[in-house]
Amino acid sequence: MRALPLFHDLRGRTCLVVGDGEAATRKAGVLESVGAHVVRGASVDALDDVALVVVAETTDAVAQDAFNRCRARGVPINAVDRPRYCTVTWPAIVDRDPITIAIGTAGAAPMLARLLRTRIEQAVPMSMAALARLGEGWRTRAKAALTAPTARLRFWERFFDGPVTEAVFRGDIAEADRRARALLAGIPATPRGMVHLVGAGPGDPELLTLRALRLIQSADVIVHDRLVGEEVLAYARADALRIYVGKRRANHCVPQQDINALLIEHARAGKRVVRLKGGDPFVFGRGGEEIEALVEAGIACDVTPGITAATGCAAYAGIPLTHRDHAQSCLFVTGHLKDGRLDLNWDVLARPRQTLAIYMGVASLPDLSRQLIAQRLPGSTPAAVIIDGTRPTQRVIAGTLASLPGLAAAVAAAARPALVLIGDVVGVALPAQALPLAAE
Ligand SMILES: C[S@@+](CC[C@H](N)C(=O)[O-])C[C@H]1O[C@@H](n2cnc3c(N)ncnc32)[C@H](O)[C@@H]1O
Question: Virtual CA dihedral for 26, 28, 34, 36, nearest 10 degrees?
Answer: 180
- Same domain as 253, residue 202: yes
- Same domain as 330, residue 405: yes
- Residue 122 located in a structural domain: no
- Same domain as 226, residue 154: no
CATH number at residue 290: 3.40.1010.10
pTM: 0.80
Contact 287, 197 (CB under 8 A): yes
SS3 state at 35: coil
CA dihedral sign, ordered 132, 133, 136, 142: negative
CATH number at residue 384: 3.30.950.10
- Same domain as 84, residue 153: no
Q: Which of 20, 95, 177, 247 is catalytic?
A: 247
- Residue 111 located in a structural domain: no
- Same domain as 199, residue 169: no
81 is catalytic: no
Expressed in angstroms and rounded, the spacing between residue 202 Cα and the centre of ligand 1 is 7
Expressed in angstroms and rounded, the spacing between residue 419 Cα and the centre of ligand 1 is 7
Expressed in angstroms and rounded, the spacing between residue 306 Cα and the centre of ligand 1 is 12
Q: What's the domain range around 269?
A: 194-307
- Each of the 440 residues of the chain gets a pLDDT tens digit; together they read 888 999 999 999 999 999 989 999 999 999 999 999 999 998 888 899 999 999 998 899 999 999 999 999 999 999 998 989 999 999 999 999 999 999 998 878 888 988 999 999 999 999 999 999 999 999 999 999 999 988 999 999 999 999 999 999 999 999 999 999 999 999 998 888 999 999 999 999 999 999 999 999 999 999 999 999 999 999 999 999 999 998 655 566 789 999 999 999 999 999 999 999 999 999 999 999 999 999 999 999 999 999 999 999 999 999 999 999 999 999 999 998 777 778 899 999 999 999 999 999 988 999 999 999 999 999 999 999 999 999 999 999 999 999 999 988 888 888 899 999 999 999 887 777 777 766 55
- Same domain as 227, residue 209: yes
**What's the number of domains the chain is made of?**
4
Question: Virtual CA dihedral for 357, 362, 363, 365, nearest 10 degrees?
Answer: 60
Ligand 1 contacts CB of residue 267 (under 6 A):
no
**Could you give the CA distance from residue 374 to residue 424 in angstroms, rounded to a whole number?**
18
